[in-house]
Amino acid sequence: MGEHLLEVKNLRTNFKTSAGIVQAVRGIDLHVDAGEFMGIIGESGCGKSVSMMSIMRLLDDNAAVKAEKIEFDGKEMQELSRKEIRKILGNDIGMIFQDPMTSLNPLYTIGNQLMEPLMKHQNMSKARAKERAIEMLETVGINEPDKRLKQYPHELSGGMRQRVMIAVAMCCNPKLLIADEPTTALDVTIQAQIMELMAELKEKFDTATILITHDLGVIANSCTRVVVMYGGKIMEEASVEDLFYHPAHPYTEGLLRSVPGDGSGSKERLVPIPGTPPDLLDPPAGCPFAARCPKAMRICNQAPAQLTTVGADHRAACWLLHPQIKDMKGGE
């Protein structure tokens, strides 16, 4: 293929802990095309952030990453040295993290932290980097940018800091932006503003974006394609429309039932998914969702289902999609 901006095949990430080996990501395939806005959704601990951090090699030493392929922009990331990876990070790939309150170094000014990647990757002079930093702060909607440059993170509100983080991530015009729960730690009104800003920037710079979230609402408003993760595996992959209107996996259905409706005023009750996510220290042999699945079958506990095509660009990993089921139903 090769036309994808980022392509990941069979990615596995394990952590060594005192209790044993935690299998956080258990063989996932992903791809993002240039200019695409993709979402990854799942409960906390399902491996969505870890998979992204694995690709960027930002995990601690107790993590081990293995994949058949992690190709970004035509380069196999696993073959690159740390130095070469550093040339990509912050330059071709920008990242935004969950908590803007702790993501900026408290001891340096906004300007200092914003100019750092510019001077490193774009070989800009200090004066030029400062100009660009002011420009970026304006772009992300921060007023009085030249004054803000001299301020420290603690002098800014959470929303402002996340804007700064976005400016840091976007300042080198990256090909890919990874946003790891960028709005989770913010107030609802600010959340909307930040998502709006991200959509705007995507239009302006045509940056491919991966949005990691556990919030279906955020996905619905911004993404074109969505990947649903659970227990370190991909459960479903579809366009936003398909996901919301024709979910193929019981987990996706559960997720949809557990959020407030689409504003149509339906009187449907919110249904939480019972149970807790599986323990990845000792992951279940079968489908990770089997223990909580209302439609679980005996086979679900015995073997994992592989992703199966449901429709155009729509795949799901569920035994309910097995051809034998259709045969049985047809036979009745």
Q: Which of 118, 25, 104 is nearest to 63 (CA)?
A: 25
Q: Is 296 exposed, middle or buried (0-12, 13-18, 19+ CB in 10 A)?
A: middle
Cβ atoms of 235 and 229 closer than 8 Å = yes
What secondary structure does DSSP assign to 176-219, as a single string? EEEEESTTTTS-HHHHHHHHHHHHHHHHHH--EEEEEES-HHHH
Shortest distance in whole angstroms from residue 156 CB to other proteins? 12
Among the listed residues 256, 221, 243, the one whose alpha carbon sits nearest the alpha carbon of residue 314: 243
Q: Which is nearer to other proteins, 271 or 303 (CB)?
A: 303
Least separation in angstroms between residue 113's CB and other proteins is 8
CB closer to other proteins out of 14 and 213: 14
User: For 277, how many CA atoms within 13 A lie in the half-sphere containing its CB?
Assistant: 15
Q: In what order do the strands lie in the sheet with 208-213?
A: 93-96, 176-180, 208-213, 37-41, 225-230, 233-239, 314-316, 308-311
The least distance separating other proteins from the CB of residue 69, rounded to whole angstroms, comes to: 16
User: With respect to other proteins, which residue has the nearer C-beta, 107 or 312?
Assistant: 107
Residue closer to other proteins by CB (options 97, 230) is: 97
The CB-of-220 to other proteins minimum distance in angstroms stands at 27
Minimum CB–partner distance for residue 31 and other proteins (Å)? 20
Q: Give dist(CA 190, CA 304) in Å, integer.
A: 40
Shortest distance, position 268 Cβ to other proteins, whole Å: 24
Kindly tell me which of 247 and 304 has the beta carbon lying closer to other proteins: 304
SS3 (DSSP) at 283: coil
For residues 192 and 299, which CB has a smaller minimum distance to other proteins in the complex?
A: 299
